[in-house]
Structure 1
């Protein structure tokens, strides 16, 4: 596999995939690299449903092997929100700062001990004439009271990871890949690549 299409327009996600795939000699393409505009409506109620929906729909449209992910933040004190609505928690315009503000407002007065949260990610791999497979990963942490760091994207500035003792946005791309939910899911994907390569070959 020399090239992989990631079903996303999110440049932040693309960087995460590039950091993990480029060392393997695999070129990462996203929906931003295509001439046509593809926007799959995420109607699933779980991360897995949305990942499969995106991977299969884009693969069907383009006739190629596609990796799609659905990921988000689950905050225990907010009953698991924002969950599958993480990207559009504060509105359909998908504004990272507005989403962060809404989470922080929802946690006003909540103690440090009760601010537990996790990032979750599900990857789906779909292609012509091959069975769709999924891989999942998570990263446990807690929600800070204020933003920290300038790296990453999404909720990274308010997500504290005890393993690194820093906010996710204070980590380098390599450090984030070592502990992130997407990194964990991609590690599973790489572990199964030999078997998947057989499917890739059969689907061509």
Structure 2
């Protein structure tokens, strides 16, 4: 087992989703190095979770990365946009964590150009940061973090001052799963999706 596998397989899926906040994700893109700090995640708990792509044991070529070892990238389409999950737990247990928002570090100018946006709106959503990173297809789906173009730093870069757990976004009509608090955010960070201006901490961005 690699250190990357260990990180994504050694705790519960919700614990890992929360732990991922403050870690740096880096993409060695054709345009240059792009990186950001993860500020928002959502946990999906596999066959029992009515909002999960593997609910009821669904298994297809498209969602197969969820069934692979912890740390496998899963990219999928939502209304012509792309989102990225990371598979959590050991092979055969199709749990995932959606990376919903990142705070840009390296390559912000490239991200702005890719999105034709500036400011917090560049990467404050799951499809937004993917497009900001210049990812336009599912090429990396099924590949491993830390084994190619995508690097996930296993040590936390920054520590949230406070983590908020909320219901996931865009999960209506899923019974009890609609209200379960499986979305984790760095409180006050302006790169969290759907963050009201009044709730933004523009001094520390929510970091200690």
Q: TM-score, normalised by structure 1?
A: 0.28
Q: Which has the larger radius of gyration?
A: 1
Q: Taking CA–CA contacts closer than 8 Å with sequence separation of 6 or more, which of the two structures ends up with the larger relative contact order? A: 2
Bigger proportion of residues as helix: 1
